Amino acid sequence: MFTRFFRRPTINFVIRTLFYFVVILALVYLYSYSGVGEGHFIYNEF
């Protein structure tokens, strides 16, 4: 029953779109922790 449901092109497209959107959000969220564009701690006082 579920396999026929997920084989529908519209449902498949929506699920893939949501999956990729969540992956991109996770990457952006993790990128914010990397500190790119921020000064290192030792340089913050200068």
> For residue range 1-46, what is the model confidence (pLDDT) as tens digits?
677 877 888 999 999 999 999 999 999 888 877 666 665 566 555 5
Q: Report the predicted TM-score, pTM, of the whole model to 2 decimal places.
A: 0.62
CA dist., res. 4 & res. 34, Å (int): 42
Helix and strand counts by DSSP (H, E) for the chain: 2, 0
CA dist., res. 39 & res. 46, Å (int): 10
Domain count, the chain: 1
Structural domain of residue 9, as residue ranges? 2-43
CA dist., res. 28 & res. 34, Å (int): 10
